[in-house]
Structure 1
Amino acid sequence: MPNIELQNRTPLRPPGSEGESDEHASSQPHARIIQHLQAADKGLAAYRVLFAAFAFEGVLWGFPLSFGVFQQYYTTLPGFAGSQFITYIGTIATGITYLGAPILAPIVKQYPQYQRLLILVGWSLCVMSLIAGSFANTIVGLVLTQGVLYGVGYLIVFYPVVSIVNEWWIARRGFAWGIMLGSSGISGVVYPFINEALLHKYGYQTALRAMALATVILTGPLLPFLKGRLPPSRNIILTRTNWSFLRKPIFWLYIMSTIAQSLGFYLPTLYLPAYASAAGLSTIIGATLLAVVNIASVLGQFTYGWLSDRNFSLNILLLSTSAVAAISSLTLWGLAQSLSFLILFAMIYGFFAYAYLAMRVRIGMAVAAEPNDSMTMFCIFSFSQGIGNVLAGPISGALLTANADVDAHEYGYFRYKGLIIFTGVSMVASAICISLSYLVPTRFRS
């Protein structure tokens, strides 16, 4: 996810300070108390924060990104099989993080003194959701716990962590973000195998409790490390957003492209394990495919982030991600009947589809009227991503219900035909929106 810029703070006056009277202080409203801050971008404290953020991102965000293994397992349980609501668990858990950006990001920005409290609350909700989910015996119960509650918990954790990282890493923020966000890709390689083994041997109740315990052990001791660099402040200097970008056609084309891309974006990682099972492959192969997608996603986001930093054409980069993701979905995935085709699809789709996410910083820069509008852009495009993520759940569930049978001689084993076509079409629609931007007169682009 792109950077969230911090606003300047006026430090609180230390209690009982005798340097000047209240009257003198009030006569100089712009007076500031000079405090010595620890150095940014270097030192033990900065790296300690980065390490903690790396662990939190990897452990907490890596779990829902590997939900496809849980989804495949749930479809095999007698009480859950056939329910179209299983998909809601994963799409809601991830979608809430994006949908909640316009709410949580401004709160963290306005009240930075509560960053650590918010992290503790969100972290506790994530752990509680896993424990509560282990006692759920219905799909609705799992949607509310493993889906909604976990998503809300991570939402409350993520934005304060982002704020703290941005305080400690300024000149080398790109480096810090690369380290932090890369952790979910790394954990996404490990999680599928761990979850598959736990589910196969012990069932989902024990698996969820084990995940809760692992979360406490791996991240709990790091909570004290997540401490802001800037002193608490009573006065936050807020900047007014220039909303003139709403009048730009290019802005709305990027919004439509983001929503279209997000509608199909998450579906392959949800259904690849189930598709592998339909192809007669073992459950460990399904976990392997998710691991391949996650490895490729790290490489894709790094590559496209590097290209965007070097001022390659934004529209060309966006077009290439959506177009290649669409082609690979409609051909490699739809026609796949062997492991080699599925691995090739996982590699290509993971690299190009996830690379789109790395472009959101550039998209915001392309349409923002002022540099200080970066946070507003972040919230708007994150919310757009969340719309697609959440809608993907009911849409994909309905598509699978409409084609309930499996036929090895049909495209997408018939059962997944509509799902695969929908994924490809959503990527095509995203690419079309980007292509239409070339029709926008130059004077309306900036």
Structure 2
Amino acid sequence: MPSTSVGSELQTWDQPTAHFQEPISEHSPSQLGDDNNTATQGEDILIQQLAPADGGPGAWRLLAAAFVFEALLWGFPISFGVFQNYYSSLPQFAGNSNIALIGTIAQGMCYLGAPASAALTKRFPKFQRQQVWLGWPLCILGLIAGSFTTTLPGLIATQGVMYGLGFVTLTYPIISFIDEWWIARKGMAFGIISAASGASGIFMPFIIEALLQKYGYRTTLRAVAVGMAVLTGPLLPFLKGRLPPAERSAMGKTNWSFFKKPLFWIYCASTLLQGLGFFFPALYLPSYATAIGLSSTSGALVLAIMSLAQVIGQFSCGYLSDKKMSVSALCTACSVMSMIAAFVLWGLAKNLALLLVFGIVYGFFGYGFTTMRVGMGRAVSDDPSAAVATYAILVFLQGVGNILAGPISAGLLKRRIQVGTYGIARYQALVVFTGTCMSLSALVISLWYLRPRTIRKLLGGRA
């Protein structure tokens, strides 16, 4: 790596540790010279110790390992729809509306537990790898324990609570590692990680469906647990940070000054509004496909195509955010295109072709928006110590939509189906709600940037 790049990294990490330096006025000129020599020697040692960022074997090994963890361990709970359909067909669970709680809790803990896990990661930076080693077996054991239970409360406690707690525990140390290894290309790195669940969404639901139909849920949960352990266990040694322990300890204190930036709250409002409508297409596209006369395979195909578009969209948006493009403009574009996809493509879809087009457009732009969390954080704070905190807060806000998706949809879905009408009648209000949330998400950011520049400066925002 060129020496200029290393120098810029040292400057990046200098800011959080500045408060440990003694005041210059207390030293004599000779002492200052000694201090400067010591600082120079320390900087040379640090340069020799640090592995290259934004590339090199260590950075790519970490990113590859994190991708596999995200694809498998997060891909499983977001594929819960397959389990939900299967559990609903079992006599002991038939007609029980609480089945959905298993997936809701597993995913909800990952979203709503984000701030707590991130705070733990930042508070005890020396124990980040131990945090991974605590969360990883919890996920595996949650699935194994679930395979031995025969009651719904048991499945909620194991496949839901244990698994969700394990995943949220291990996630934020990994995010912190990525934040250390990837600096100038941070948006691209997080785009790749975000796309991992989309990559697994292309094949994981089909594998789980086949296992459930052939072997039942007990054997399936055990098989998934063994598969996860075998595929992710050997990668655990690659999950480690780049900074020396002393530097990581200095980064343990988060700079919360971004709370004073109005732009941060604009991004929070936009993320919350986008999250309220974000989850409905993935939840209801299979049943929508069945309602217009398509097979269950066609519904799964639409989800797979949407997952593929998600991979491309999240990588592309993350890459563009590194190219000095306006994060606000990217967020607005993603929300506007998602709005058009919902109002026009989903609402008018009466055949497989239009549903596939909707899956492509929504998968690219709807999921592309979620990659902007890193860019939003950089827009409101130059301090590296705030990166994980802003990311976790925005994840939490999107997770509110995940938790409320069930109650909201229960009030919006209608009983009757009329294929010739907009949204085939049953899903009409749901389609309109999704499109409205996307439009409001774009509007919040747009109105902020349409304000006169002088007012923005007065309120402390960025141009």
Per the normalisation by structure 1, the TM-score is 0.82
In the TM superposition, what is the alpha-carbon distance from 1:238 to its structure 2 partner?
Answer: 4.4
2:440: which partner in 1? 429
- Structure 1 211/379 Cα, relative in aligned 2: closer, same or farther at 3 Å? same
For residues 264-292 of structure 1, the C-alpha deviation after alignment (integer angstroms, 9 at most, x for no partner) is: 11221122222223333333222222211
2:430: which partner in 1? 419
- Identify unmatched segments of 5+ residues in structure 1: 11-27
For residues 210-261 of structure 1, the C-alpha deviation after alignment (integer angstroms, 9 at most, x for no partner) is: 211211111122223323444445953545524364362x433322211111
In the TM superposition, what is the alpha-carbon distance from 1:161 to its structure 2 partner?
Answer: 1.7
2:146: which partner in 1? 133
* Kept after mapping to 1: 8 A contact 2:188/2:315: no
In the TM superposition, what is the alpha-carbon distance from 1:107 to its structure 2 partner?
Answer: 1.8
**How do residues 254-273 of structure 1 correspond to structure 2 at under 5 angstroms?**
254-273=267-286
Amino acid at match of 1:435: S
Amino acid at match of 1:387: V
2:25: which partner in 1? none
- Structure 1 377/235 Cα, relative in aligned 2: closer, same or farther at 3 Å? closer
Q: Larger deviation: 30-39 or 101-110?
A: 30-39
2:128: which partner in 1? 115
Give the count of matched residue pairs: 421
Amino acid at match of 1:302: F
- Structure 1 435/90 Cα, relative in aligned 2: closer, same or farther at 3 Å? farther
SS in 1 for 2:321: helix
Q: Larger deviation: 236-245 or 211-220?
A: 236-245
Aligned with 1:366 (options 369, 379, 388): 379
- Is it true that 1:39 corresponds to 2:39 in the alignment? no
Amino acid at match of 2:51: A
* Kept after mapping to 1: 8 A contact 2:186/2:322: no
In the TM superposition, what is the alpha-carbon distance from 1:189 to its structure 2 partner?
Answer: 1.0
Higher relative contact order (CA 8 A, sep 6+): 1
* Kept after mapping to 2: 8 A contact 1:92/1:151: yes
- Structure 1 348/79 Cα, relative in aligned 2: closer, same or farther at 3 Å? farther
Aligned with 2:317 (options 287, 304, 310): 304
1:241: which partner in 2? 255
In the TM superposition, what is the alpha-carbon distance from 1:148 to its structure 2 partner?
Answer: 2.8
1:341: which partner in 2? 354
Q: Larger deviation: 252-261 or 202-211?
A: 202-211
* Kept after mapping to 1: 8 A contact 2:191/2:317: no
- Structure 1 337/136 Cα, relative in aligned 2: closer, same or farther at 3 Å? farther
- Structure 1 83/328 Cα, relative in aligned 2: closer, same or farther at 3 Å? farther
**How do residues 131-280 of structure 1 correspond to structure 2 at under 5 angstroms?**
131-170=144-183, 173-174=186-187, 176-233=189-246, 235-239=249-253, 241-243=255-257, 245-246=259-260, 248=262, 250-280=263-293
For residues 121-163 of structure 1, the C-alpha deviation after alignment (integer angstroms, 9 at most, x for no partner) is: 2111111222233344455444433333222211111111222
- Identify unmatched segments of 5+ residues in structure 2: 1-11, 18-34
* Kept after mapping to 2: 8 A contact 1:91/1:392: no
Amino acid at match of 1:430: S
In the TM superposition, what is the alpha-carbon distance from 1:179 to its structure 2 partner?
Answer: 4.1
Amino acid at match of 1:438: Y
* Kept after mapping to 2: 8 A contact 1:55/1:183: yes
CA distance in 1, matches of 2:14, 2:163: 29
1:16: which partner in 2? none
* Kept after mapping to 2: 8 A contact 1:120/1:157: yes
For residues 310-367 of structure 1, the C-alpha deviation after alignment (integer angstroms, 9 at most, x for no partner) is: 3334333222212221222233223323211211111111011111112222222333
CA distance in 1, matches of 2:57, 2:338: 41
In the TM superposition, what is the alpha-carbon distance from 1:298 to its structure 2 partner?
Answer: 1.5
CA distance in 2, matches of 1:438, 1:39: 40
- Structure 1 54/329 Cα, relative in aligned 2: closer, same or farther at 3 Å? same
1:22: which partner in 2? none
- Structure 1 55/303 Cα, relative in aligned 2: closer, same or farther at 3 Å? closer
**How do residues 283-362 of structure 1 correspond to structure 2 at under 5 angstroms?**
283-362=296-375
In the TM superposition, what is the alpha-carbon distance from 1:55 to its structure 2 partner?
Answer: 1.6
- Structure 1 423/380 Cα, relative in aligned 2: closer, same or farther at 3 Å? same
In the TM superposition, what is the alpha-carbon distance from 1:118 to its structure 2 partner?
Answer: 1.4
Per the normalisation by structure 2, the TM-score is 0.80
CA distance in 2, matches of 1:51, 1:302: 14
CA distance in 1, matches of 2:382, 2:186: 23
Q: Larger deviation: 120-129 or 177-186?
A: 177-186
CA distance in 1, matches of 2:318, 2:101: 30
CA distance in 2, matches of 1:327, 1:172: 30
- Is it true that 1:442 corresponds to 2:442 in the alignment? no
Q: Larger deviation: 255-264 or 303-312?
A: 303-312
Amino acid at match of 1:200: Q
For residues 88-112 of structure 1, the C-alpha deviation after alignment (integer angstroms, 9 at most, x for no partner) is: 4334323322322221223222323
For residues 365-407 of structure 1, the C-alpha deviation after alignment (integer angstroms, 9 at most, x for no partner) is: 333375653333223222212222222233224444xx34544
* Kept after mapping to 1: 8 A contact 2:75/2:200: yes
SS in 2 for 1:227: coil
* Kept after mapping to 2: 8 A contact 1:49/1:226: yes
CA distance in 2, matches of 1:314, 1:235: 30
CA distance in 2, matches of 1:295, 1:50: 20
* Kept after mapping to 1: 8 A contact 2:118/2:392: yes
- Structure 1 52/306 Cα, relative in aligned 2: closer, same or farther at 3 Å? closer
Amino acid at match of 2:444: C
1:65: which partner in 2? 78
- Greater helix fraction, Structure 1 or Structure 2: 2
* Kept after mapping to 2: 8 A contact 1:40/1:167: no
